[in-house]
Amino acid sequence: MIEINNVHKVFNAGKANQVNAVNGVSLDIKKEEFLVIVGANGSGKTTLLDMVAGSVFPNSGSIAIDGEDVTKLPDYKRSKWIARVFQNPVSGTASDLSIIDNFRLAAIRTQSKGLSIGINDTFKNQVKEKISTLGMGLENKTEQLMGTLSGGQRQALTLLMSVMDNCKVLLLDEPTAALDPRSAEIVMRTADELIKDYRLTSILITHNLKDALKYGNRIILMGEGLIVKDLDTEHKATLKQNDLFDWFG
Amino acid sequence: MDFYLTALLQGLCFSAIALGIYISMKIFNIPDITTDGSYTLGAVVTAILLTHHQPTYIILPAVVIAGGIAGALTGIIHTKLKINALLAGILVMTALYSVNLSLMGRSNLPLINISSLFTLINISADPNHNTFWILAIFVLIITLLIGYLLKTDFGIAMRATGNSESMIRSLGVNTDRMKIIGLALANALTALSGYLISQFQGFTDISMGIGIVIVGLGSVIIAETMINWLHITSVWLSLVLVIAGAVIFQLVLAVTLDIGVNPNMLKVVTAVFVLLIVSLPRLSLLSRK
């Protein structure tokens, strides 16, 4: 589904503060694979994810999604396959817009935003039904501004928004980093359910080793812009938490 | 009383500029100074076409297109050349001064005894009342159009662009294109104010746009204060308050002149008034603590 072929990314090339973020990563992510990426800060995880999303372009190498070369395609054109959940809840939702407005935009992620009014009663009911599956009691607050919600509520809604429109790839960049343990668990469980229900290909970056162990069917460790370890479903299943701790030792 | 009626009419003329600033500043979060130039541009295009006896259905689109091009230029400089929005606006505004001057060929063009928008239709025998009704209908139509636009899928995407750029890009919107369209729209509205004012006052002057951005800003800030104060989230009500802001702004200036403040000091009064509106909510917050 996603083929990453020997990508390199250097920031501030030739300057004193040059950063070699990703140094030749090749990765073949199969359809419906749920890949977990762990690694220390500065190991190139987020840069790699940004390159898949299209918000950062590689210096060399190529990236293909669903058989199509997307190396030079900007992020807003990759939205026909990709939905994203950001580390910061503010980045994934528009605070000054109502919940229903946010969902409307998500519902037409792969389509053009035309000059007709798309929010009608049918749409409102559809959104309410979706939101009620979260069990957060938000279904009757759809006219409320997104900014009035907590980070956990916003991340959970961002997840739901990602499957409002046809979605093939879900990118999760430390979605629970800013959340309390309870909200974090709800968000991760929702993500896992959506990934299974909608049979999504997904990438999760996390610093939470419990989550890394519990979710996903493949795990890679990154260090200094390279893939250090790569465990498939079988090997990941036998992985113990202590082994994971040792990776960071 | 006529004095205040004139202020009301002027406020209605300026409501288009207020809507324009509302779009650039509040919706897109871009401080756009192109305004001074595109306002005069609208007035210049109006004056030239009126003196060439062109009908309204040609003048009006011409003004909108001229303003739109000016705004789009600022947008392109800002997004494609990655130049600070403030500087991009100043550049276009400066260039527009020469454009306006060479278009007119002189610094002042009177429009006396030329039939204008306000003599086009006769609703009332009193020319001031007639002007009021025409302006009211004009502003109503603009407000309905902008309000509808902001409610559409495109409009929601516009509002999200100024709010959470990372989100709206991941939802498939080209934010550069959106900003260019937004600035074009804002300056098209600004040019419409130039169109109205030049016909209202009966002349176009090359320096009429100097400092006009503060009129739009002041109106929007008055509106914003009311929006926050009344906890308004509705798009329609916000637009109505922006227009109310434009009228209140002109009425306050009329009061200042009425109580005998030297007209030369008008710009100082304007600046202090805007400062007061901006700072009052903060001051009252401080005292509460």
Read off the CATH number of the domain in which B178 is found. 1.10.3470
Best A113, A119, A168 member to test B by mutation, with max B CBs in 10 Å, is A113
CATH, residue A97: 3.40.50.300
CA distance B109 to chain A (A): 39
- The verdict on a CB contact (< 8 Å) between A101 and B160 is yes
Selection from A108, A109, A139, A113 nearest residue A124 by Cα: A139
So what's the pLDDT on residue A234? 80
Percent of chain A beyond pLDDT 90?
51
Q: Which of A93, A103, A105 to mutate to test the interface with B (most CBs of B within 10 A)?
A: A105
Q: What is the mean pLDDT of residues A218-243?
A: 85
Considering only CA atoms, which of B232, B166, B175, B179 is closest in space to residue B31? B179
CA distances from B225 to A184, B278, B280 (A): 37, 8, 9
Q: CB A72: neighbour CB atoms within 10 A?
A: 11
- Number of CB pairs, chain A paired with chain B, less than 8 A apart: 93
Q: Which residues of A touch B (CB under 8 A)?
A: 53, 55, 74-77, 79-80, 82-84, 86, 90-98, 101-102, 104-106, 108-111, 113-119, 143, 145
A170 CA: distance to closest CA in chain B (Å): 11
Question: Percentage helix, strand, coil, to 5, in chain A?
Answer: 35, 25, 40
For every residue of B127-146, which 3-state class applies, written as one string?
HHHHHHHHHHHHHHHHHHHH
Contact B151 A95 (CB under 8 A): no
Structure tokens at A131: 């939101």
Nearest chain B alpha carbon to A145: B233
Q: How many domains does chain A have?
A: 1
d(CA A173, CA A46): 7
Put simply, the answer to whether A104 touches B163 (Cβ < 8 Å) is no
Cβ of A114 within 8 Å of Cβ of B152? The answer is yes
- Lowest mean pLDDT segment, chosen from A92-106, B35-49, B119-133: B119-133
Greatest Cα pair distance in chain B: 62
Residue B169: which domain range? 2-288
Q: For the CA atoms of chain B, what is the radius of gyration?
A: 19
pTM for this model (two decimals): 0.90
For residue B175, give how far its alpha carbon lies from the nearest alpha carbon of chain A (Å).
8
CB–CB contact A105 B166 (8 Å): no
The alpha helices in A170-226, defined as continuous H runs, are: 181-197, 209-214
Domain housing A36: 2-247
Structure tokens at A68: 């199509």
Over 80: is that where the pLDDT of B228 sits? Answer: yes
Model confidence over A32-69: pLDDT tens digits?
999 999 988 888 899 999 999 999 999 999 999 999 99
Task: Considering only the C-alpha atoms of chain A, give the largest distance between any 2 of them, rounded to a whole number of Å.
Answer: 57
Q: How many domains does chain B have?
A: 1
